């Protein structure tokens, strides 16, 4: 079983993720930063929110209209089994 990985801001940037800053006015709460990476057209990975004291976050697929194969879903489930 693969070990679950948390990522720092620097690691996400090195992997090619794009940074998005969300100010307090837009978030309705505290400001935060998150990162996205388009793997293939219309299929993204998105990070958790980096708030003031957050050092590492997880990454998850983001909803999209792209259809994925059963093979992909099985591999994804295997990667994230407990």
Question: What is the per-residue pLDDT for 52?
Answer: 84
Per-residue pLDDT at 32 exceeds 80: yes
Question: What is the per-residue pLDDT for 1?
Answer: 44
The encoded tokens of residue 25 equal 């006015």
Average pLDDT over residues 39-67: 85
Q: Are 65 and 77 in contact (CB under 8 A)?
A: no
Per-residue pLDDT at 56 exceeds 80: yes
Task: Name 60's bridge partners.
Answer: 46
pTM: 0.75
Question: What is the per-residue pLDDT for 42?
Answer: 78
Instruction: Specify the higher pLDDT residue, 54 or 64.
Output: 54
Which DSSP letter does residue 65 get? Answer: S
């Amino acid at each position: 079983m693969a070990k679950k990985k948390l990522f720092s801001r620097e690691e996400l940037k090195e992997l090619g993720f794009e940074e998005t800053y969300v100010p307090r006015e837009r978030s309705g709460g505290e400001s935060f930063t998150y990162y996205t990476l388009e793997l293939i057209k219309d299929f993204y990975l998105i990070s958790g929110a980096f708030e003031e004291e957050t050092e590492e976050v997880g990454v998850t697929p983001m909803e999209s209209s792209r259809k994925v194969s059963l093979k992909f879903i099985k591999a994804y489930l295997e990667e994230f089994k407990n």
